[in-house]
Amino acid sequence: MAVRQQGGAGKSTAAAGKGHRYMATILIVDDEEWIRDSIRLKLMRSGLPIDNIYDCASSEDALALLEGTSADIAICDIRMSGIDGLTLCSLLSLRYPQMQKIIVSGHSEFDYAVKAIQEGVVSYLLKPIDNVGLCNAVKNCIERMKNDPSAEIRMVSMREAVYENSENPAAGLAPNTIRHLMKSATPASFFGFCHIYTGEKNNISLSDMLSLVMRCAAGFAFGEDMFFFKGEPMEYTAVFCFPPATGAKWMPKLQKIAGDLIDELAGRGSFEATCGLEGAAMPLGPAYERAKSNMRYRIFLPEERIIRTEMAARFRDEYKINRQLMVRLRHALERGRYRELSEVLGQISDEISSMNISYASLDLLYGTLLGFAEDTGSAYASPPKPLWRYSSARGMINAVKELYLSRINVTFLQEENAKTHIANRVQDYLNNHYDENISLEQLAESHYITPAYLSFLFKDIFGINFLDYLQNIRLENAKSLLKTGSYKIKTVAEMTGFNDQHYFSRVFKKLTGISPREYVEKERTNNSNNNPHF
């Protein structure tokens, strides 16, 4: 990509301090290098308040550059291979409404000038470019920037909202930000959110997606009463500002935009687009999250392409994972029993299909099922996709089934790794919960395995049975507490899971050869001998 930069401190206008509020960053786009060099030289000698100058050999290079930096004024040639100058100006008007545009051409036909004006071009210069004409055109652009004090910050805010993949886009929807993003927004305005998922076969560029939204949102102007940003892969959000008097009319308007957008995407190929809709007054963060959440309920509403809050509201039941089915599932997976595996997954699918369970409950189930696959001890060929990417709950179950079947024929080494993986998880649990009342049956149930298999694991991995292992952990922690001399023996017994002090003393003496009291006296003597001043 042929891109050059030259300027003072190398900062964009967005990064300049308040003293450089009207220091302009200029982008020159022309496929002839000598013309770019000529314009650059004229600008550097002009004495105009210019902070940075970039130049690109094509419109494509310019658009790519602007995804990572900002410019206030674009000077574009009309005749270029690929995207021509007028088309570039049209795209710049959509993406960066506050950017000032100057067209340069060797053609004096009236039609070019008319089209340039229609694309919001400030000046139309003919080649060869003279110093006075160029300087006056740039000066005019800078004056226009000065006359709109909010233009700079609004332009930068829009670029960040549209092109930066924020971890929390809702954080950028604060009232002050909205006022900069939409000039027509007032404290009494109402906002409609359209959260768009294009489908896994998405191959649409960000600029094309923005153009589609603008085409479907007739009557709305980017930066005036609408803005648009990209979130996660294949997800986009359009926000529309409605006047306070709109009342309940906002939803039909938003549905019309969403419907037209889905039709446009369908006409471009095999898109499985779904839109989640929501509206709210300030604050807007919760409305954004709700629109996004509504879209994700597509997994329960595979026939719907536009999902509103009232449609998603009925999916609120909590799904309590059937532990008996989970134990059977793990047992079938560990032993490679294809038929039982399919049968259990079918039962789980029937259960969740008969309920209006919440997205969170289904996501918990999905995570549990993926966890069983991890316990085979082998890594995923590729990371599992998020739950909402599936077109239906049954589709998710089928995908999990395929994952299980691909892992059933594991080698002996993988089986050993699987056993070790489960044993380590149980070991970690006991190290953190030894003070609780734990039985082999409860521990097996909480890890979705049978008590018999858990008992086998302890003997196979650790060489002792479950009760002896648990007692060893408790006694080691009891020793540490007794060494401090800060606790009574009864208290130490309670803190390490022994409810009866006498039983604690018997077990302690059986395994160490001395009673807890003798152990405390022995430690005290050792400390005194090692430290005479103790």
The residue among 405, 396, 393, 397 whose CA lies nearest residue 325 is 397
Q: In angstroms, rounded to a whole number, what is the distance separating the alpha carbons of residues 534 and 530?
A: 8
Tell me, what's the pLDDT at 55? 92
- Cα 205-211-212 angle, rounded to 5 deg: 90
Altogether, the residues listed in the chain come to a count of 534
Q: Which alpha helices (H) appear in 229-381, and where do they start and end?
A: 250-267, 285-296, 309-312, 323-335, 338-353, 359-374
The residue among 24, 6, 4, 28 whose CA lies nearest residue 14 is 24
Largest CA-CA distance found in the chain, in angstroms, rounded:
106
The residue among 255, 297, 300, 262 whose CA lies nearest residue 278 is 255
Number of H helices, E strands in the chain: 22, 11
Q: In angstroms, rounded to a whole number, what is the distance separating the alpha carbons of residues 185 and 483?
A: 68
Give one DSSP letter per residue of 109-152, joined into a string: -HHHHHHHHHTT-SEEEESSPPHHHHHHHHHHHHHHHHH-TTHH
Tell me, what's the pLDDT at 162? 39
Q: How far is CA 460 from the centre of its chain?
A: 42
Q: What values do phi and psi take at 47, rounded to 5?
A: 80, 5
Tell me, what's the pLDDT at 26? 92
Q: Which alpha helices (H) appear in 191-271, and where do they start and end?
A: 206-216, 250-267
Q: How far is CA 375 from CA 347, 348, 409, 424, in A?
A: 22, 20, 14, 11
> Rounded to 10 degrees, what is the CA torsion of 81, 82, 85, 86?
130
Q: In angstroms, rounded to a whole number, what is the distance separating the alpha carbons of residues 181 and 174?
A: 11
Tell me, what's the pLDDT at 148? 59
Single pTM value for the model: 0.49
β-bridge partners, 276? 195, 307
> Rounded to 10 degrees, what is the CA torsion of 430, 435, 441, 442?
-90
Residue pair 502/487 in contact by the 8 Å Cβ criterion:
no
Q: Which alpha helices (H) appear in 17-67, and where do they start and end?
A: 33-44, 59-66
Q: In angstroms, rounded to a whole number, what is the distance separating the alpha carbons of residues 383 and 361?
A: 21
Tell me, what's the pLDDT at 75? 94
Q: In angstroms, rounded to a whole number, what is the distance separating the alpha carbons of residues 86 and 91?
A: 9
Q: What is the pLDDT along the chain (534 residues), one digit of tens a residue?
A: 556 666 543 333 333 333 334 578 899 999 988 889 999 999 988 888 888 899 999 998 998 888 777 788 999 998 888 888 888 888 887 777 778 889 888 765 555 666 666 566 877 888 788 888 899 889 888 888 776 544 444 444 444 443 333 344 444 455 555 655 677 777 778 888 899 988 776 667 776 777 788 888 888 877 678 877 776 778 888 888 888 777 678 888 899 999 999 888 887 765 678 889 988 876 677 788 888 889 989 888 888 889 998 898 888 888 887 788 888 888 787 777 777 888 888 888 888 888 888 888 898 888 888 887 776 554 555 667 888 888 888 888 888 887 777 666 443 334 555 667 777 778 888 888 888 888 887 777 776 666 777 777 777 777 788 888 888 888 888 888 888 878 888 888 888 888 778 888 888 888 888 888 888 888 777 766 655 443
Give 492's DSSP letter.
H
Convert 143-162 to b/e letters by CB count within 10 Å (16 or more is b).
eebeeeeebbbbbbbbbbbb
Q: In angstroms, rounded to a whole number, what is the distance separating the alpha carbons of residues 296 and 416?
A: 38
Residue pair 251/242 in contact by the 8 Å Cβ criterion:
no
H or E segment to which residue 237 belongs: strand 235-242
Q: In angstroms, rounded to a whole number, what is the distance separating the alpha carbons of residues 202 and 359?
A: 24
Tell me, what's the pLDDT at 428? 82
Q: Strand 123-126 relative to strand 73-77: parallel, antiparallel, unpaired?
A: unpaired
Q: In angstroms, rounded to a whole number, what is the distance separating the alpha carbons of residues 242 and 277?
A: 14
Tell me, what's the pLDDT at 258? 92
Structure tokens at 332: 């079938």
Token match 């080698």: residue? 411
Q: How far is CA 178 from the centre of its chain?
A: 21
Convert 482-502 to b/e letters by CB count within 10 Å (16 or more is b).
beeeeeebeebbeebbbeebe
Q: How far is CA 296 from the centre of its chain?
A: 13
- Reported as a single tens digit per residue, the pLDDT across 393-437 is 888 888 888 777 766 644 333 455 566 777 777 888 888 888 888
The alpha-carbon radius of gyration of the chain (Å, integer) is: 34
